[in-house]
Structures are given as structure tokens and as C-alpha cells.
Amino acid sequence: QVQLVESGGGLVQAGASLRLSCAASGLTFSNLDMGWFRQASGKEREFVAAVRWNLYTYYVDSVKGRFTIDRDNAKNTVYLTMNSLKAEDTAVYYCAADRSRAPEFPATPRAYEYWGQGTQVTVSS
């Protein structure tokens, strides 16, 4: 059974930092592309960052320089370190996994097979 379990969300003030974690089970983690998405209330789910099986990373422009995605294959875990948080970062953050190793970079929700349940991040201004 495939499971992705996020943790680390919370309520913080603008300018603070948070580190989200996503623990995966039921898959060979090192073979996976892993992504983080977020969905604010009333908005569509949007791509935030991804780290491919070969460690290549990609970020949406709005988080470049503030967020860092990394993975620990020994722990089957992907992380999203979020610094200098802004009110507009408030959303439910979702972890996603994909096995396909498709040529195109997985930056859309439909590129991913598996999803976590989400963790709420709220940034007060």
C-alpha cells in the first residue's frame, strides 16, 4: 500500500520559517520524482517545487530563493524548507510522488500518481 504522509505545517508569522516533511512508504523511494504542491482556499492546486529521482530540482518563481526542496533516500522522506514566509504562502501543502520518470519535468498535478493528505500552512501578516 502506497502512503505519503506530510507533517510540519502550522501557524507562523510573516518572515518565519517552516520545514515540511513527507514520508513515503510502499514504493522504491529513490526511483521517484517527488513534488510539493499547494492549494489556497478557493484556488486551484499549484506547483511549488520538485526533486527528481536524479536530484534535479525545480521551483515555481514565487518561491525561488525562499524555499528549498531536498530528499533523504535513506529515510524515504522529502522535505520542503520554507524561509521568509509571506501571507500569500498560506495554503494546504501536498506531497506527491510519481514513478514514471517521464522526460518532461513533473510540474503539474496530473504528472503525479500518488498524493498525501496535505498539511495546513498559515502565515499571519
pLDDT at position 118 is 97
Report which residue type is found at 116.
Answer: G
CA distances from 62 to 16, 44, 48 (A): 16, 16, 8
- Residue 120 makes CB contacts below 8 A (sequence gap 6+) with 9, 10, 91, 92, 93
CA 19 from centroid of its chain's CA atoms = 10
Per residue in 36-49, pLDDT tens? 999 999 999 999 99
103 or 9: whose pLDDT is higher?
9
Instruction: Look at the block and give the residue holding cell 513527507.
Output: 22
First CA to last CA distance, the chain: 40
Per-residue pLDDT averaged across 15-32, rounded? 96
Report which residue type is found at 47.
Answer: F
Per residue in 69-125, pLDDT tens? 999 999 999 999 999 999 999 999 999 999 988 888 889 999 999 999 999 999 999
pLDDT at position 100 is 87
pLDDT at position 49 is 98
- Residue 22 confidence class, pLDDT cut points 50, 70, 90: very high
H helical segments located in 1-125:
none
Q: Name the pairing type of β-strands 10-13 and 119-124.
A: parallel
